[in-house]
Structure 1
Amino acid sequence: MTLGQHLRVLICVVIMGCIVGFVLNGKEIETNSPYIDYIKAQQWPFNEDVLIAEIFDGHYELSYWEYFTARNGQHVVQLTGTNDEQQDIYQFVIEEDYTGFKIGAVKQNNILLPPEQKWPFVKMLTNKKASKSGEFLAGN
Structure 2
Amino acid sequence: MLELKRLILGSLVIGSMLLTVGCEEAKETAQKVANDVEEKIQAEATKDNEFLLSVKGGQLNSYPDIIIEEAFNSFFSSPTWKYFEAETGEHVVEFTGYCFYMEKKVKAKLQFLVVEGVDSFEIGALEFNDVPQNELTKIELIKAIYEDNVFTNEDVTDTSVNNTESESLISLQNFERWNYGEPDKTFPVFLDGAQESIVLGLDTPNGIKAQVHINSINTAFNLALDSESDYSPFDEFGELLPGFELYATGHDFDSDGTDEVVVAISDGLVETYYWVFSYNFVALEYGDNPLEPVFYGEAQSDIILEGNTLTVPYGSQGLFDSYIYSNGEFIMQ
Q: Say which of 46, 49, 54 aligns to 1:31.
A: 46
Gap change, CA 1:98 and 1:67, over 3 Å in 2: farther
What is the 5 A alignment of 1:5-84?
Answer: 29=42, 30-32=45-47, 33-83=49-99
Structure 1 equivalent of residue 132 of structure 2? 112
Gap change, CA 1:48 and 1:81, over 3 Å in 2: same
Alpha-carbon distance in 1 for matches of 2:152, 2:71: 14
| 1:139 and 2:155 matched | no
Which stretch of structure 1 is more off in the superposition, 88-97 or 52-61?
52-61
TM superposition shift of 1:98: 4.2
Q: What RMSD, in angstroms, separates the aligned Cα atoms of the two structures? A: 2.0
Gap change, CA 1:87 and 1:71, over 3 Å in 2: same
**TM-score between both structures, scaled by the size of structure 2:** 0.31
Q: Secondary structure at the match of 1:47?
A: coil
Structure 1 equivalent of residue 238 of structure 2? none
- Unpaired runs of 5+ residues, structure 1, are 1-28
Can you list the C-alpha shifts for 1:64-121, whole angstroms capped at 9, x where unaligned? 1000000000000000012473211110000011421000001122221111322222
* Letter paired with 2:46: T
Q: Is the 8 A contact 1:88 1:109 kept in 2?
A: yes
Alpha-carbon distance in 2 for matches of 1:133, 1:99: 24
> How many residue pairs are counted as aligned between the two chains?
110
Alpha-carbon distance in 1 for matches of 2:121, 2:91: 9
How high is the sequence identity, in percent, across the aligned residues?
25
Alpha-carbon distance in 2 for matches of 1:106, 1:77: 12
Higher helix share: 1
Alpha-carbon distance in 2 for matches of 1:134, 1:51: 12
Can you list the C-alpha shifts for 1:5-54, whole angstroms capped at 9, x where unaligned? xxxxxxxxxxxxxxxxxxxxxxxx54321111110111123211101111
Q: Secondary structure at the match of 1:55?
A: helix
Alpha-carbon distance in 2 for matches of 1:92, 1:57: 15
Gap change, CA 1:39 and 1:122, over 3 Å in 2: same
Gap change, CA 1:112 and 1:134, over 3 Å in 2: closer
- Unpaired runs of 5+ residues, structure 2, are 1-41, 163-333
Q: Is the 8 A contact 1:90 1:106 kept in 2?
A: yes
TM superposition shift of 1:128: 1.8
Higher strand share: 2
**TM-score between both structures, scaled by the size of structure 1:** 0.69
Alpha-carbon distance in 2 for matches of 1:73, 1:134: 36
Alpha-carbon distance in 2 for matches of 1:133, 1:100: 23
Larger Rg belongs to: 2
* Letter paired with 2:74: G
Structure 2 equivalent of residue 128 of structure 1? 148
* Letter paired with 1:64: T
Gap change, CA 1:133 and 1:100, over 3 Å in 2: closer
Q: Is the 8 A contact 1:62 1:83 kept in 2?
A: no
